[in-house]
Amino acid sequence: MANRYDAVVIGGGHNGLVAAAYLARGGLKTLVLERRHVLGGAAVTEEVIPGFRFSVASYVVSLLRPEIIRDLELPRHGLHILPLDGTFTPLDDDYLWRTDDHGQTMRELRRWNPLDAEAYEEYGLLMVEMARFIKPILGIVPLDPDRPDPRDAIPLAGLLRAFGQLPRRQQTAFIQLMTMSAADFLDQWFQTDPLKATMSASGIIGTFLGVRSPGTAYVLLHHYMGEIDGAFRAWGIPRGGTGGVSEAIASAARALGAEIRTEAPVARISTRNGRATGVVLQDGQEIEAGTVLASTDAKVTFLDLLEPGTLERDFEDGIRRFRFRGSSGKVNLALDGLPSFTSLPGPGEHLRGAISFSPGLEYMEQAYDDAKAGSFSRRPYIDMVIPTLVDPRMAPPGKHVVSCFVQYAPYELAEGEQWDDAKREAFGDAVVDTIAERAPNIRDLIVGRQVLSPLDIEQTMGLTEGNIFQGELTLEQLFFNRPVPGYARFRTPLRDLWLCGSSAHPGGGIMGAPGRIAALELLRERAGGLRRWRPAS
């Protein structure tokens, strides 16, 4: 019968599509249901302003797992990642410009501080070693410290042995990365303030923390993870925007036999005596499934799509405690020319990479102070990219699109304030003002702008509180604690309901890991070779 599937995946974001592709490849009759008219979730390209195509939300890729690219033959399905070369940090009357040209970057750093240039080399080597060590963690199923499963012992023991064999210096660095603040960690290495600020920025993205908050150092590694794949550069943008990634994965999934429906919003997950049996669409249509995989975030999945009371109260409380706290916004600009920076006027290579508004650590920390006080940063950290310089087809000839990731924009505003149209525009203005301080001509170039507050991200993408990672990547919400202790293994208290989105280990970013590991784990369980694992209750 047409309405019976082995697996139904809720949500056509990149993780849902990855999961579907692997399940189909594993021979399961698989259906993906996407609420919106476009696939990709937060990894989506839309023509918001006629002629201008934006990577509406997420805008760069660095972590997409190389094994996914290989397994699903994504290049054959149109995935093409264009390198973003370098990071340009404009200041009032100077700049810091690092590129993939090692020699040039060294010369630039020496100009700032010869010692930092030396340290930078050493630091880079160390971080690559660290990334190499940590990488396996992104690929394993978290163990449940409460109910250890023998099967997890092997990879874990391997990890511990590997740690024991690291040089002391790297062991120390690892512990520091897991526990320190990005700023404290970098203070050990460098003096150059814009360098530290720009590097520390990666530590705060998507979390309601500041560069001096413990626990932010870990994300510094992410920048280096891409580098060791060799598959592609650390940072790149997919041709056709991040929607290009989703399209490629979707096409691979279809080729492998998965069925994908858009504009098919799921109203609820149907259950019968303690197990998920399928879904009911908002139009009332019922679809039966052997297994339901939700790529929606933990709150949407367990508190919105399930009848209240289906799950134990303790578990529901745990989900309510799971922290989202969206802290960032997005501003997309349509320009009819290129911005010119006072510190390095005119067009040039420096515009082809990431342009980071992060002049100093104190600037970053003050941006956070505004957010703590319940308002968007008056002078935010902005990560700006001009995709049209590497992918001209995103805009009419001579015109450009500019993608600005902005932090902080707290979902929760101070009492009496809310994200209404006025607030949204004020936020957009603050971003343009911040850019204009260093590239004054931007104002006259803007022919259109799209501003997304965390509330907009929640409403359009379905991401709770607008958190781009489907839940903060803080220590207490990682690995065996993600999303809830005891349920970090993609299974849920409800039999045959699985989690395969970024709310699950190892978390967010266009990585695809949750979707992949969840699918492989489900296939492994169905193969039934090994004892069926039951979450502790």
Partner 1 sequence: MAAGIVIGPRSSPGRYDAVVVGGGHNGLVCAAYLARGGMRTLLLERRETLGGAMATAEVSPGASVPVLAHTVGRMRPSIARDLDLAGEGLRLVQPEVRAVSVRPDGPPIALFGDPARTATELASISRHDAAAWIELDRRVSSLAGVLGRLAGQTPPDPSSPRLDDALGAMRIGLGYRGLAAEDRRELLRVLPMAVADFLGDHFETDALRALLSIRGMRFSSLAPRAAGSTQQLLADSAGNGGGLAGETVYARGGPGAMAAALVSAARRLGAELRTGVEVTQVRENGGRATGVVLASGEEIEAGIVVSGVDPKRLLLTMLDPESLGPHLGWQAGNYRSAGVTAKVNLALSDLPAFAGLDTDETRARLRGRIVVAPSVSYLDRAADAAKYGRFPTDPWLEATIPSLVDPLLVDRARDSGVRHVMSVVLQSAAYSLREGGAEAWDGRRDELGDVAIRVLETVAPGIGGLVVGRQVLTPLDLERDYGMTGGHPLHGEPSLDQWFAWRPMLGLAQYRMPLEGLYLCGSGAHPGGGVTGVPGRNAAREILADRNRARRSGRR
Nearer to partner 1, 125 or 160 (CB): 160
Sign of CA dihedral 487, 493, 496, 502: negative
| Residue 298: both structure tokens together | 């933990």
Among 100, 149, 152, 184, binds partner 1 (CB under 8 A): 184
Least distance from C-beta 93 to partner 1, angstroms? Answer: 23
Q: Which stretch binds partner 1 (CB under 8 A): 238-246, 262-270, 460-468, 470-478?
A: 470-478
Nearer to partner 1, 134 or 250 (CB): 134
Q: Which stretch binds partner 1 (CB under 8 A): 175-183, 292-300, 382-390, 424-432?
A: 175-183
101 binds partner 1 (CB under 8 A): no
70 binds partner 1 (CB under 8 A): no
Residue 359: closest CA among 119, 186, 187, 195: 195
User: How far apart are the C-alpha atoms of 426 and 338, rounded to whole Å?
Assistant: 23
156 binds partner 1 (CB under 8 A): no
Q: What is the 3-state secondary structure (H, E, C) of 359-374?
A: CCHHHHHHHHHHHHCC
Among 102, 111, 169, 261, binds partner 1 (CB under 8 A): 169
Buried b (16+ CB within 10 A) or exposed e, 104-140: ebbebbeebbeebbebbeebeebbebbbebbeeebeb
Nearer to partner 1, 224 or 363 (CB): 363
Count Cα atoms within 13 angstroms, Cβ side, for 269.
35
User: How far apart are the C-alpha atoms of 215 and 182, rounded to whole Å?
Assistant: 8
| Residue 77: both structure tokens together | 């399905």
Least distance from C-beta 83 to partner 1, angstroms? Answer: 34
Q: Which stretch binds partner 1 (CB under 8 A): 20-28, 60-68, 205-213, 292-300?
A: 205-213
Nearer to partner 1, 66 or 485 (CB): 485
Cβ atoms of 419 and 413 closer than 8 Å: yes
Residue 20: closest CA among 498, 479, 488, 489: 498
Least distance from C-beta 411 to partner 1, angstroms? Answer: 15
Among 3, 172, 418, 459, binds partner 1 (CB under 8 A): 172
Sign of CA dihedral 198, 204, 209, 215: negative
Least distance from C-beta 208 to partner 1, angstroms? Answer: 8
Q: What is the 3-state secondary structure (H, E, C) of 138-201?
A: HHCCCCCCCCCCHHHHHHHHHHHHHHHHCCHHHHHHHHHHHHCCHHHHHHCCCCCHHHHHHHHH
163 binds partner 1 (CB under 8 A): yes
Least distance from C-beta 486 to partner 1, angstroms? Answer: 6
Give Cα 56 to chain centroid, integer Å. Answer: 14
Least distance from C-beta 17 to partner 1, angstroms? Answer: 31
Residue 386: closest CA among 445, 433, 328: 445
536 binds partner 1 (CB under 8 A): yes
Among 107, 275, 321, 378, binds partner 1 (CB under 8 A): 321
Q: Three-state DSSP class for 46?
A: strand
263 binds partner 1 (CB under 8 A): no
171 binds partner 1 (CB under 8 A): yes
Q: Which stretch binds partner 1 (CB under 8 A): 183-191, 221-229, 264-272, 284-292?
A: 183-191
Among 179, 262, 342, 441, binds partner 1 (CB under 8 A): 179
373 binds partner 1 (CB under 8 A): yes
Q: Which stretch binds partner 1 (CB under 8 A): 104-112, 346-354, 477-485, 505-513?
A: 477-485
Neighbours of 532 (CB within 10 A): 7
Nearer to partner 1, 312 or 425 (CB): 312
486 binds partner 1 (CB under 8 A): yes
User: How far apart are the C-alpha atoms of 302 and 316, rounded to whole Å?
Assistant: 7
Cβ atoms of 15 and 505 closer than 8 Å: no
Q: What is the CA radius of gyration of the chain?
A: 23
Binding region for partner 1 (CB under 8 A): 145-146, 160, 163-164, 168-169, 171-172, 175-176, 178-180, 184, 187-188, 209, 212-215, 314, 321, 323, 362, 365, 369, 372-373, 474-476, 480-481, 485-486, 536
